[in-house]
Amino acid sequence: MENDVLYIVMPAYNEEATIENTVVQWYRILEKINNQGERNSKLLIANDGSKDSTYKIMQNLTAKYPDFEPLDKPNSGHGATLLYLYGKAIEAGAGYVFQTDSDGQTNPDEFWQLWENRDKFDFQIGDRSRREDGISRIFVTRVLRLVVRLMFGVYVKDANTPFRLMKTERLQAVLRAIPPDFFLCNVAISAIAVKWSERCKWYPITFKPRQAGINSINFKRIIKIGWKALSDFKMINKNLKK
C-alpha cells in the first residue's frame, strides 16, 4: 500500500509577524490531506533560535491546530535546520516531505499540482519564474545555477526553491551524500537528484515579496554564498564518488 503520509516542514527564524498566518494557510492543506484518509500527516515548523516571539506564538497555536508540531532548537542556519526537519519526517515514517519557508512568499494553492503527481515523480520542485522578491535574490539563483553546472555538470532551473515535494525513500538516499549541517542542502538535493536521473519535475510557481522582515542579501553576501558553495560542493562530489 502506498504511504501517502505527508509532512509539511518549514524552518522559522524571527518570523513573529508572519508565522500565525503561515500556520493557518498551510494547515488548511494538511487538513484536506488528513480528511482524505492519512490521519498521520503533520505540519512541522522548527524555530531556529529566534530572538523574537516566533516560538511562543507557535506554541499558542497548537491547541487550535492539533496536527501542528512546533519544534525548538538552537540557531544553526537555514540548511542545517532543513536537514534536521527532513530527519524528523523520515524518523516519523512520512511517505512524502513537502518543504517551504515560513515567510509567506509561497502560495499554498499551488501545492496541489505537485500532490496530484506524487506517484509519477520523486522530486517535484517549484521554478520561481514569477518572483517578486528583488533583483539580488534573482542574481543569487543565477549564481547557484552556474555553480551547480560547474561542479556537478548538470543544469538545474531553480536549485534552491523553498517549494518542493519529495518522496521520502529517494530523499533519504540523496541525503546520505550530504554532510550534516550542510549550508546549501536544498541546492545539493536538487543537483544530486538531476545527476542521478531521479524522476524530477519543475513547476512554474509564484513567489511573493517577503511579507515582513529585512532582505539580508547584498552583493558582498552573494559573493560569499557563491564562494562557499564551490567549496561545499567539492565535498559533495567526493561523497558521490565513494
Average pLDDT, the chain: 88
- CATH code, domain with 74: 3.90.550.10
Q: Is residue 94 part of a domain?
A: yes
Domain that holds residue 10: 6-134+158-212
Q: What pLDDT score does 233 carry?
A: 81
- pTM listed for this prediction: 0.90
Q: Is residue 144 part of a domain?
A: no
Q: What pLDDT score does 157 carry?
A: 86
For residues 183-192, give the mean pLDDT.
92
Domain count, the chain: 1
Task: pLDDT band for 195, please (50, 70, 90 cuts).
Answer: very high
Q: Is residue 219 part of a domain?
A: no
Q: Is residue 124 part of a domain?
A: yes
Q: Is residue 121 part of a domain?
A: yes
Q: Is residue 84 part of a domain?
A: yes
Q: Is residue 226 part of a domain?
A: no
φ, ψ of residue 112 to 5 degrees: the values are -65, -30
Give the burial class of 144: count Cβ atoms within 10 A of its Cβ; 0-12 exposed, 13-18 middle, 19 or more buried: buried
CA distance 187 to 185: 5
When comparing pLDDT for 18 and 219, which is higher?
A: 18
Task: pLDDT band for 218, please (50, 70, 90 cuts).
Answer: very low
- Does the pLDDT at position 80 exceed 50? yes
Q: Is residue 204 part of a domain?
A: yes
